[in-house]
Amino acid sequence: MDASNLFARNFLNVKYEDLPQKVVDETKKQVLDLIAVAVGGYGQAGAKEVREMTLEWGGAEQATIFISGKKVPAPNAAQVNASMAHSLDFDDVHEAAIMHPGVVTIPTALVVAELAGRLSGKEFIQAIAVGGDMISRMGLATRPGDEDVHKYGWHFTTLNGFMTSAAVAGKILGLSEEKMISAIGIGYHQSCGNGQVVKDGVLTKRLGPGFAVKGGITGAILAQKGVTGAINSMEGVAGYYKVYHGNSYSRDILVGELGTRFESANISIKPYPCCRGTHPTIDATMILVQENDIAPDKVESIRIWCGEGTLGLLGLPLEVKAKPRNFVDSQFSLAWGCATAIAKKRVTPSNFTEQAIKDADILAVAAKITVENDPKYNKGGLEPAKVEIKMKDGATYTKEMLTATGSPEKPATFDECVAKFRGCAEFSTSPMPEDNADKIIAAVKDLDKMEDIKDLIKLLVW
């Protein structure tokens, strides 16, 4: 049986009561985190234009655009909300799968809940947890053992997001197993997403998940109406793994222990608003700065060692990474993250804007940085990093990080998610009223007790 069929059946078979408590707890944190980064991303370039375009189009008032409260067709609302949530590159991530699950599953679940008419908090958690498991497994199974999957050019969140969004939407719409399979197949027919957007530092990097959820929800609605999609969309002779990955995948990783092992328990919450691959470097730098009270003007030189995949995506070309052409470049730069930690002693959304990339203090530190590969860090996924800071007085400080803050080994607490939520709300171009913030935090904490998820959606408008 094709893996897509097994995933469809899994969505229908797994009940809320089957989810381990850790999965429930982590899903709640992911929901609060998604709301946080979406609020922080409101008004950001790219997302702003998608919202304006969507409102110009108008259409059936099916689902809510965050903050503005305007209602538009469900696929379009999801596109806007996901684009907002991904614009800061601050959304959750499955490190080993190299993708952002929440920005696909949560916007999909929220708007389809409105479209369907009613969804309990427990049903909401189930759809997100099983969807997060699916998209993470799809990434984990790809090219097993390959240390640098970036070189193949795919942006996995977007690429895998179409099929996952279709499955999440299909579950909430109450599709039969047969129609769920078609929904996933229709999602596959639209699947796309490339890494060139990172190389060129363009705004479409942050719009990919929005395209995916729009396509996925559209696929589920079409399947509901009787449109058929590919039955063997993952493992067929022209299925996803054959067409996109040359049949290089692990079926055991893809569907082994399906329904009992949940990769959604291993999703990380980001502490910094930039590519997750930069975080070991930033963590190492922050520790050195705090432990040794490093003054930027006293630094002679800085060296960063990282894995091959990290170097290619985030380290080179150094002239672009150390002197970003735009804020997208800064979000995907080891040098910029490291320099920011030294120059500002913090790394926040305000350090990744059009204004910030002109900051003379950060640029001066970034100019002292060199980045190189250490083969022992060639591990794929979230690769380790080492930072060495040489001072003008001859002192040298070195720190190695094998993982990063917020990872499954060092998970963020709910209170840390609350602090991030409040910080994003303050950064937003449409700051959240304090009353809304308090109610959202309380609602998410007790999400499993909520009778109708619309009660949460109402709080996302002001």
The rounded distance, in Å, linking the Cα atoms of 397 and 353 is: 29
In this structure, what token pair is assigned to residue 326?
């735009």
- What pLDDT, on a 0 to 100 scale, did the predictor assign at position 332? 97
Query: What Cα–Cα distance (Å) separates residue 199 from each residue in 204, 312, 328?
Result: 11, 10, 10
b/e string for 150-178 if b means 16 or more Cβ within 10 A?
Answer: beeebbbbbbbbbbbbbbbbbbbbebeee
Query: For 11-31, what is the mean pLDDT?
Result: 98
- What pLDDT, on a 0 to 100 scale, did the predictor assign at position 406? 93
Contact 88, 39 (CB under 8 A): no
Query: Could you give the percent of the chain with pLDDT greater than 70?
Result: 100
This prediction's pTM: 0.94
- What pLDDT, on a 0 to 100 scale, did the predictor assign at position 120? 98
The rounded distance, in Å, linking the Cα atoms of 347 and 160 is: 30
401-450 residue pLDDT tens: 999 999 998 899 999 999 999 999 999 999 899 999 999 999 999 999 99
Query: What Cα–Cα distance (Å) separates residue 162 from each residue in 101, 183, 219, 238, 418?
Result: 12, 10, 8, 17, 30
- What pLDDT, on a 0 to 100 scale, did the predictor assign at position 110? 98
Query: Could you give the percent of the chain with pLDDT greater than 90?
Result: 97
Nearest Cα residue to 263 out of 422, 399, 105: 105
What is the rounded average pLDDT for all residues in the chain? 97
Q: 241 CB contacts (<8 Å, ≥6 apart)?
A: 141, 142, 234, 235, 247, 248, 249
Residue 61 pLDDT level (bands cut at 50, 70, 90): very high
Exposure on the CB side of residue 91, measured as CA atoms within 13 A = 29
Contact 72, 114 (CB under 8 A): no
Hey, how many other C-beta atoms are within 10 angstroms of the C-beta on 89? Answer: 25
* DSSP codes, 285-312: HHHHHHHHT--GGGEEEEEEEE-HHHII
Question: Is the model's pLDDT at 88 over the cut of 90?
Answer: yes
- What pLDDT, on a 0 to 100 scale, did the predictor assign at position 148? 83
Question: Residue 391: enclosing H or E segment and its boundaries?
Answer: strand 385-391
Query: For 289-313, what is the mean pLDDT?
Result: 97
- Which DSSP state fits 227? -
Beta bridge partners of 63: 72
Question: Is the model's pLDDT at 6 over the cut of 90?
Answer: yes
Residue 359 identity: D
Strand order in the sheet with 385-391: 369-373, 299-306, 385-391, 396-401
Residue 293 pLDDT level (bands cut at 50, 70, 90): very high
Contact 340, 347 (CB under 8 A): yes
147-175 residue pLDDT tens: 788 889 999 999 999 999 999 999 999 99
Residue 65 pLDDT level (bands cut at 50, 70, 90): very high
The rounded distance, in Å, linking the Cα atoms of 24 and 10 is: 17
Query: For 180-185, what is the mean pLDDT?
Result: 98
Contact 235, 132 (CB under 8 A): no
Nearest Cα residue to 212 out of 182, 243, 190, 239: 190
Q: What domains appear along the chain, each with residue ranges and CATH number? A: 3-270+411-458 (1.10.4100.10), 276-401 (3.30.1330.120)
Question: Is the model's pLDDT at 1 over the cut of 80?
Answer: yes
Question: Is the model's pLDDT at 145 over the cut of 90?
Answer: no
Nearest 5°: phi and psi at 413? -80, 165
The rounded distance, in Å, linking the Cα atoms of 160 and 154 is: 10
Nearest Cα residue to 101 out of 29, 185, 22, 183: 29
Query: For 388-396, what is the mean pLDDT?
Result: 97
DSSP alpha helix (H) spans, 93-155:
102-116, 121-140
Helix, coil or strand: residue 340: helix
In this structure, what token pair is assigned to residue 347?
């790394």
In this structure, what token pair is assigned to residue 219?
């696929």
The rounded distance, in Å, linking the Cα atoms of 44 and 54 is: 15
Question: Is the model's pLDDT at 52 over the cut of 90?
Answer: yes
Strands (E), 183-339: 299-306
Q: How far apart are the first and last CA of the chain?
A: 47
341-380 residue pLDDT tens: 999 999 999 999 999 999 999 999 999 999 999 999 999 8
| 156-173 vs 121-140: helix crossing angle, rounded to 10 | 150
- What pLDDT, on a 0 to 100 scale, did the predictor assign at position 384? 97
- What pLDDT, on a 0 to 100 scale, did the predictor assign at position 150? 83
Is the preceding omega at residue 317 within 30 degrees of 0, hence cis? yes
The rounded distance, in Å, linking the Cα atoms of 36 and 207 is: 17
Nearest 5°: phi and psi at 144? -55, 135
The rounded distance, in Å, linking the Cα atoms of 248 and 257 is: 20
